[in-house]
Amino acid sequence: MSIELISPLANTRSKLAGIIAQIEVVSGSEYPYQDSRTAVNELRSLIDRMMRRLDGFELYPPNVQKSLLRQGNYLIVIVTELLGFIVRSTSTRNLFELYYPFKEISKKFVGENVRLILSSDWQYSPFTYPYGLDELPTFILIGLPASESENALVFPTAGHELGHNRWRANEYGKALAPDLEESVYEAYEANRAEFERVFTLKGADIRNDMFVQPIIRQSVNLSLRQSEELYCDFTGLSLFGKSYLFAFDYLIAPGLSSHRDSKYPSLETRVSLLSKYAGELGFQVNGFAERFNAEKLAGAEASNFMVLMADRAVESITERLFQMAHSHVASTVGNPFSSESEAHALQCFTNGVPSERVHTLGDLMNAAWSVFNGPDLNQLNNKGQSKTQFLTDLVVKSAENLEYLSYRDAKH
């Protein structure tokens, strides 16, 4: 007995209807900030548009029909993922008090018209969706680990994720690609004997041989990814100062894996460069670099060689990447932290009270980490809270002043 399947069109319509029903539920949630609600409405518009496109389905040729159904399936997958992210942004475990000051930083650093969604996520590493996402092109979406969503001390890692958004919004990779490509060629030429042994391409013209070019391209692509990660580290450092190092150390040290992800510089490279440029910004964290374990490349010999050549290319522009990130922060955000302001916040936090002054997030985070790394808080009236809970309360109560005074000044 043969069984007839329901038409793919009917299946797709049913799935889209399910997404619409879910959006209706989500749209009724309580959102602390308008950007989350705006994102839900924009996703609903995308689904409605796809439903309208399916109205003329029978008029299309078969190849277009399949393409349209595939687009519908993709939209269902990405909208489901984004809705989950947006719903988690409503969790009361999130630090809503830090939203306003960080959005102000985002508007200055990436663009005045950006919208921001801060959320928690069930993966441990902080992350961001690609800026310019087709479905939400003007949104910055940053997720922090759910287990740390109530810990303000890890918030400086959001500075790294903000760096990704600026990098992509301004297409810095395109600008750096020619120089990185040249450096990759130079690295291969400087290591010709090893290259010929690994790839059995003795005597090949590295710059012109058609069999060499895909190998070169792999190294160039890896060097671009690594450069972006370093730019983002330097952005976090420039925005938050020493608190970025402390948050980085807290989340990662001594390492999350013994194997290196080739799209990132080695952990040893990242922490040594962070230490170096922290010194140039005027502060040192004793023993920071020594707290991390070395990583190993886990690929085949050929793939490892391509990674090492990418490493050599990135080394040639490291200083340029730091100057880019630091100057971008200085020219847009201004001075994100100062010793005088931090000292006042530190005095308040040491006394166990929030600051009544307006501080940047950098100053608040630096002061909080200074207390965290200092003597025990038992002498303070922390009501039995852990250090992180106690300091988070002080940070968020201090940060509320910035939003309050901004709204007050806007009314006058």
Q: Which domain holds residue 105?
A: 91-150
pLDDT at 81 over 80: yes
Measured distance CA(196)–CA(305) in Å, rounded: 11
What's the total number of domains in the chain?
Answer: 4
Q: Are residues 200 and 302 in the same domain?
A: yes
> Which one, of 409, 394, 408, lies nearest residue 95 by Cα?
394
Q: Which residues contact 191 (CB under 8 A, 6 or more apart)?
A: 309
pLDDT recorded at residue 1: 66
Q: Are residues 45 and 84 in the same domain?
A: yes
Whether a cis peptide bond, with omega within 30° of 0, leads into 254 is yes
Secondary structure of the chain in HEC code, one letter for each residue: CCCCCCCHHHHHHHHHHHHHHHHHHHHCCCCCCHHHHHHHHHHHHHHHHHHHHHCCHHHCCHHHHHHHHHHHHHHHHHHHHHHHHHHHCCCCCCCHHHHHHHHHHHHHHCCCCCEEEEEEECCCCCEECCCCCCCCCCEEEEEEEHHHCCCHHHCCHHHHHHHHHHHHHCCHHHHHHHHHHHHHHHHHHHCHHHHHHHHCCCCCCCCCCCCCHHHHHHHHHHHHHHHHHHHHHHHHHHHHCHHHHHHHHHHHCCCCCCECCCCCCCHHHHHHHHHHHHHHCCCCCCCCHHHCCCCECCCCHHHHHHHHHHHHHHHCCHHHHHHHHHHHHHHHCCCCCCHHHHHHHHHHHHCCCCCCCCCCHHHHHHHHHHHHCCCCHHHCCCCCCCHHHHHHHHHHHHHHHHHHHHHHHHHC
pLDDT at 408 over 60: no
Residue 124 covered by a domain: yes
- Mean pLDDT within 142-160: 95
pLDDT recorded at residue 208: 93
Residue 161 covered by a domain: no
Q: Are residues 83 and 135 in the same domain?
A: no
pLDDT recorded at residue 93: 85
Residue 276 covered by a domain: yes
Q: Are residues 70 and 127 in the same domain?
A: no
Question: Which of 317, 332, 347 corresponds to the end of one domain?
Answer: 332
Residue with tokens 């958004």: 165
Residue 164 covered by a domain: no
- Mean pLDDT within 74-103: 93
Q: pLDDT tens digit string along 316-360?
A: 999 999 999 999 999 999 999 999 999 999 999 999 999 988 899
pLDDT recorded at residue 379: 53
Q: pLDDT tens digit string along 171-220?
A: 999 999 999 999 999 999 999 999 999 999 999 999 999 999 999 999 99
Residue 155 covered by a domain: no
pLDDT at 380 over 70: no
Name the pLDDT band for 92 (thresholds 50, 70, 90): confident
Measured distance CA(118)–CA(260) in Å, rounded: 28
Q: Are residues 189 and 322 in the same domain?
A: yes
pLDDT at 3 over 80: no
Q: Are residues 203 and 224 in the same domain?
A: yes
Residue 362 covered by a domain: yes
Question: Which of 281, 315, 332 corresponds to the end of one domain?
Answer: 332
Q: Are residues 322 and 271 in the same domain?
A: yes
Q: pLDDT tens digit string along 293-307?
A: 999 998 899 999 999
- Mean pLDDT within 258-275: 94
Angle between helices 361-372 and 99-109 (to 10 degrees): 130
Question: Which of 332, 365, 397 corresponds to the end of one domain?
Answer: 332
Provide the mean pLDDT of the chain.
92
Q: Are residues 130 and 42 in the same domain?
A: no
Q: Are residues 177 and 294 in the same domain?
A: yes
Q: Are residues 99 and 83 in the same domain?
A: no
pLDDT recorded at residue 227: 98
pLDDT at 411 over 70: no
Over pLDDT 90: what percentage of the chain?
A: 79
Q: Which residues contact 326 (CB under 8 A, 6 or more apart)?
A: 234, 238, 277, 281
Q: Are residues 304 and 189 in the same domain?
A: yes
Name the pLDDT band for 387 (thresholds 50, 70, 90): confident
pLDDT at 404 over 70: no
Residue 369 covered by a domain: yes
pLDDT at 12 over 90: yes
Over pLDDT 70: what percentage of the chain?
A: 95
The edge-to-edge listing of strands for the beta sheet with 127-128 is: 115-121, 139-145, 127-128
Q: Are residues 354 and 298 in the same domain?
A: no
pLDDT recorded at residue 124: 87
pLDDT recorded at residue 251: 95
Q: pLDDT tens digit string along 15-65?
A: 999 999 999 998 888 888 999 999 999 999 999 999 999 998 888 999 999
Residue 101 covered by a domain: yes
